[in-house]
Structure 1
Amino acid sequence: MRIAFLALAFPKIEKTQYLYTDLVVQLHKNGHEVLVVAPGDKDDHVGLGLEAGIKVLRVPTMDLFDVGLLRKGIANIVLPYQYIWALKRLKIDLEFDLIITPTPPITLYKVVKWLKNKSNAKVYLILRDIFPQNAVDLGFMKKGGLVHRYFRKKEKQLYEISNRIGCMSEGNIAYIKKHNPYLNPNKLDLLPNWANVLPLQPPHENSLLKQKEGLADMFIVIFGGNIGIPQKMENIVELAISCQDKQDIIFLIIGYGSQFDDLARLIKEKNVTNIQIRDGVGHSEYFKIVQMADVGLISLNEKFTIPNTPSKALSYYNAKKPILASIDIHTDFGRDLEKINAGLWAEAGNTKQLKEKLMLLYQNEELRKQMGENGYNYMKDELCSQKAYDTLMNEESDS
């Protein structure tokens, strides 16, 4: 098939492992002709080029990340017009069989509609961000206000124009059904997060890395990825403070995001000595660091009313690390952890309970090892990129 993949973020295929680069590579490997349309970052080429043999159209856009809410909102609104302009300017053949687009953003609806009208292609929506409700949950947007009504309309239009909608979890599917009763429920597929399963380094290399990092004989609880309001990092700081009586426990936070500087200030203000915070690193380096850790940490803001499934769990699964999750009561991620016995969780904001769960892992090496193996096997069997490809293509052939 000829497939258009519309993305908000799409790193260079040769440089990083990422949810959508992995999927596009699978599409390409299976003989499909893929055109990726994505923003052109400052260090990227702008225009049409080949990346790992795949056509990628990098479009000049406004800044979409690490900017204020107003600028970000405007950038997302004009983004579809920039994509359409680029496709027209380069006279791209628009006869596609399938259009795949993930959320965010929902504003790409206009491009999807335009391409579908041009080619009568089917549309597969990969639902990873239920917007605008998540913005309402976190206080970025007033429910029922003008801005909310605008984006809610776009959300409904995107759902309606899609032939299939891939949801992260059963909780996601139930949420969409409940809040969009007009929608044909047969459109909704279970499409969990995925990643390529990477080879693990030998145990002695983990020991050498711990020594190099000055963390030999330390029990490392790692958090990697976005550091923003959705992650509510204050809960992690409180957990670290509660563990200061354990001299060998260190919390290692590696990432980026709008709250990075605020988190660093909070750690300094509270004189939290058992947290190290570092800038984000490349995927391969990060995965090496995860492998030397003892526990993988996840944190979600307790204000969320949407069942989110954090993608950072994939690195922990792959590295055979048990997960400790501080999560809201609406997500079904905790139940998934329990089902596969790959980690423990506590309600976000309940520091006492979260510490108790951490102590269970801290005191039981065999439990950590078994949970790590369970997560690894689950990822290998259910969350690999080939499995995501099979799910998407099977559902597409049925639609």
Structure 2
Amino acid sequence: MDENDPWLTNELAGSLQRAGNRVTVLCLDWAGKLGSEKSAFFTTSAGTQVYVEKPVSVFRRFSLLSKLFKWAGSSCVASLRVARLERENNYDLVICFSPLVTMGLPAAWLAGVKKKNSLLIQWDFFPYHQRQIGMMSPGVVFNIARKVEGYLISRFKYIGCLSPANIAYLQSHYPIRREQHVFTLPIWGEGSALPKSDVSLVREKYALPEDKAIIVFGGQLVHGRGIEDILAVAHLAKQQSLPVVFLIIGSGSLESLVDDYICAGHANVIRFAHVPRQEYLEIIAACDLALVCTVRDVDVPSYPSKTIDYLRVGLPIVASVEKTTDYGEHIAQLGVGVYTEAGNPEALLGVIDNLLKNPDLLGAMKAQGPTCFKEYFEVDRVVSKLLNVVAVH
């Protein structure tokens, strides 16, 4: 909603527009306050037309029922807008993101009924991941969600997955038709130049310690992000009197776990709530290492988007990830990080400590990060691949 605080979707739409396409975005503003304006329209500085719809009102007493009602009702509202836009414009390509249930009716209408050329960017394996991290119980609701999501996925002509492991998971858990084209589409980020900043001045500005290594984690503080493991590692580091501080940037349903740890007198953890993107980049550029954490006992292969900003500022990555993903192997092959299996705080601390004690390796990873980003993850490169695949097949 704010061009000064962009996300992946902003960057994708902007790159498509710069490539000479006419882009229309339909945005469901899930964070929109109830009672505010129901819809809005604006044009971005790149020329992208954006239609914003607010979510419908939800029940307050039953959380799962509230979410289902909010998703279904909001999808109905969005489908009305889509129907009007489709009549007025001859779209050549429709792009949707998983989970599709949140935009189920528009997706089914455009990709299924209208048979538009369609691309699904598959980065959330709903509802399998939600079930495995305890956000959804197995049973009737899960089976209905699985069938609905599977049906919607089957309507798309192209499906872009973040890695080969993601492709394998997609094909083994959803009804992929033979004529659907599944390919690897990397996560992306805007490649604009970053302003140079003095690390000491930035640390002073944000009251960060100058005499300790700072390990940063940026992202939502919710289930599935390994927040418990991060706090366990911080506790072990304090017990061993290691000169490190863990900086956590973000908010979410588990933020109280972090705040309680800090309030208990543990000074080796600092938390900042959400900060604008440019400010976030300035802060993490003044850190020494970056954390990517997921949870154990899940089989859904993740590829965290926070990787992009870490690479842009040249932060070496320490990943604690599920054993089924190829993310850790990928960052190691690219020379930008190291990894261990999720759920083992002792092993994670050992990896962090070893990397901090190896300045030559640390320096090589810092230098490789921006280069790796430009070669593999810069949004214009990814969009070029996307358009080539759609044009060829």
Relative to the length of structure 2, the TM-score reads 0.91
CA shift, 1:115, in A, is 2.5
Find the aligned partners of 1:325 and 1:182 in 2 and give their Cα distance: 31
Displacement, 1:68?
3.6
Q: How far apart are the structure 2 equivalents of 1:51 and 1:92?
A: 23
Q: Which amino acid aligns with 1:46?
A: S
Residue 119 of structure 1: how far off its partner (Å): 4.7
Instruction: Decide whether aligned partners of structure 1 residues 128 and 363 sit closer, same or farther in structure 2, where only a CA change above 3 A counts.
Output: same
Matched, 1:128 2:123: yes
Judge conservation of contact 1:291–1:321 (CA < 8 Å) in 2: yes
Count of equivalent residues? 384
In 1: Cα distance, 2:173 partner to 2:335 partner:
31
From 95, 102, 110, the equivalent of 1:100 is: 95
Aligned pair in 2 of structure 1 residues 213, 59: CA closer, same or farther (>3 Å)? closer
Which residue does the alignment assign to 2:42? 49
Cα separation, 2, equivalents of 1:356 and 1:44:
51
Match of 2:356 in 1: 362
Q: Does 1:248 align with 2:237?
A: no
Q: What SS is found at the alignment partner of 1:243?
A: helix
Partner in structure 1 of residue 184 of structure 2? 190
**1:94 touches 1:118 (CA, 8 Å); kept in 2?**
no
Moved more, 88-97 or 222-231: 88-97
1:92 CA displacement: 5.5
Write the letter of the residue equivalent to 2:376.
E
**1:33 to 2:28 alignment:** no
Residue matched to 1:373: 367
Deviation (angstroms), 1:160: 1.2
Deviations 1:252-304 (A, max 9, x none): 111011111233124434x4220011211000000000100000111101132
Alpha-carbon distance between aligned partners in 2 of 1:54 and 1:63, rounded to the nearest angstrom: 28
User: Any gaps of 5 or more consecutive residues in structure 2?
Assistant: none
CA distance in 2, matches of 1:104, 1:163: 16
State which drifts further: 43-52 or 98-107.
43-52
Please state if 1:77 is matched with 2:72.
yes
How many Å apart are 1:118 and its aligned residue?
A: 6.6
Task: Provide Cα deviations, 1:216-272, integer angstroms capped at 9, x if missing partner.
Answer: 222110011111111121100111111113453111111011111233124434x42
Displacement of 1:94 after TM fit? 4.7
Structure 1 residue 111, shift from structure 2 partner:
0.9
Which residue is 2:149 aligned to? Answer: 155
**1:325 partnered with 2:283:** no
Offset from partner CA, 1:69-121 (integer Å, 9 cap, x none): 43222211222201022345678615321110011343423212222467531
SS at match of 1:258: coil
Secondary structure of 1:96's aligned partner:
coil
Change (3 A) 1:91 1:362: closer
1:301 is paired with a residue whose SS is coil
3-state DSSP class of the match of 1:158?
helix
Q: Output the TM-score relative to the length of structure 1.
A: 0.90
Change (3 A) 1:228 1:185: farther
Aligned counterparts, 1:292-311, within 5 A: 292-311=286-305
Structure 1, gaps ≥5 residues long: 1-10
Distance 2:257 2:204 in 1: 29
DSSP 3-state at the match of 1:230: coil
**Alpha-carbon contact 2:215-2:245 (below 8 Å) kept:** yes
User: Offset of 1:186 from its aligned partner?
Assistant: 5.6
CA contact (8 A) 1:177 1:183 kept: no
